[in-house]
Amino acid sequence: MSVRVVTLPRGADAATFAARAKAHGADALEVRDDLTETAEPGPLPLLLAHRGGQGFGVRGQWEDRAGGEIASVHFERPLTPEEAERHWAGCTARYLKHVEPLGDPTSGARLLETQARLVARFGEGRVTVLATGDCALPWRAILARRNAFDYLALDATTASAPGQRLMADAVRAGDAPGPRLAIIGHQIAHARSPRLHAQPFDRWDLPPDAPVRELVDALRDHYRGFAITAPFKRAFGDDAVNTLVRRPTGWATYNTDVDGARAVVKRHGARDFTVLGDGGAAWALRRAGARAVLKAAEVTRVSGDVFWTWPAHVSAPAALRLDGARVFVIAYGAPATRIAGRIRVLGGTPVRAGHTWFIAQARAQRRLWWEAS
């Protein structure tokens, strides 16, 4: 298993941060001289990284544990495997760390070949190959299987490079073998799918304009299925899609949100209801019996039973008023709490329905993924 590494953020107390990181599964703390000026021994072994600062006046503890130095190079452009191999040909360090921009989001197979060549030359357990960029995460998840060091984010606010996985996801996946699963969305650090489904299960937190169709095709050999959430539910067809299942000839598409919508409607007896928003969840609610689906520009005063489908980071229309409406919140966790607060301010009564929806649609996804090729 790769050594799990977190980077000390700028301004953070090293001892406190390291203790928290260790409790969540970190094996080592990287201290970069462009982020901090001192490096003191603490509860985790240190990796001292010279990244354009003044360097450090003390040696780290890592040599005691790992037995050698790390030669690290951050390249300014994507390299071909041949270029990478030529660069590292004369390396004598105990470990080497090769970092480069991903470039074309679908080009990660290049990095897998680079990793394979360097491992063949230097041996297992000595090589780390990393990609950086907004779409690098899925490739980093695959590269981690053979990397000596896995550089991770302790949480969504402490990532030291774009494309890092969350520590919790890496710890949960462990060394689970076989093709992976993942959830694909934007601002999904709160998503609970990785806790519920079979491992390894990744969290692809991507920019809204990411080429998700091309990404899942490029990573087809490594993943057997995906959960799709906002804003990508319409990226795979005219109808909203929240589930992909790998088949011999391509990806089969489904929407198990219909199962979630019907479960909430049945549990709360919401036979005649209005939907706020026209995204993927609204598509499912139409099939569960919605009488009306209102786009943001159409919303003013609403009463009766209402489903709120806008994500927490999307502002409600300024004209919206909820005249004593019973408003079902299909988000969960912290986003649901924020949405519920808005609903009260607007005059409605929030009903937390996210867990009912989530469990019903997740059970349907699980059945589908068992069929994956």
CA atoms within 13 Å, Cβ hemisphere of 370: 5
In the prediction, which pLDDT does 68 show? 55
If you average pLDDT over residues 152-156, what whole number do you get? 91
Rg (CA), the chain: 23
pLDDT exceeding 90 applies to what percent of the chain?
64
- Give yes or no for residue 63 having a pLDDT over 50: no
- Compute the distance between CA of residue 52 and CA of residue 40 in angstroms, rounded to an integer: 19
| β pairing state of 250-254 and 273-276 | unpaired
| β pairing state of 250-254 and 243-247 | antiparallel
pLDDT exceeding 70 applies to what percent of the chain?
95
Q: Quick check: 233 and 212 in contact, CB under 8 A?
A: no
- pLDDT averaged over every residue in the chain: 90
Convert the pLDDT of each residue in 174-217 to its tens digit: 888 888 999 999 989 888 898 889 899 999 999 999 999 999 99
Token output for 185? 């969305």
If you average pLDDT over residues 115-139, what whole number do you get? 96
Convert the pLDDT of each residue in 2-42 to its tens digit: 999 999 998 888 889 999 999 999 999 988 888 887 777 78
CA atoms within 13 Å, Cβ hemisphere of 115: 24
Provide the greatest CA pair distance for the chain.
73
Instruction: Tell me which architecture the domain covering 1-175 has in CATH.
Output: Alpha-Beta Barrel (3.20)
- Compute the distance between CA of residue 253 and CA of residue 184 in angstroms, rounded to an integer: 14
In the prediction, which pLDDT does 59 show? 43
Convert the pLDDT of each residue in 253-285 to its tens digit: 999 999 999 999 999 999 899 999 988 889 999
If you average pLDDT over residues 332-339, what whole number do you get? 92
- Residue 61: pLDDT band (50, 70, 90) is very low
Pick 71 or 354 by higher pLDDT: 354
- Give yes or no for residue 60 having a pLDDT over 60: no
- Compute the distance between CA of residue 336 and CA of residue 351 in angstroms, rounded to an integer: 10
- Compute the distance between CA of residue 234 and CA of residue 257 in angstroms, rounded to an integer: 13
Residue ranges, comma separated, of all CATH 3.20.20.70 domains in the chain are 1-175
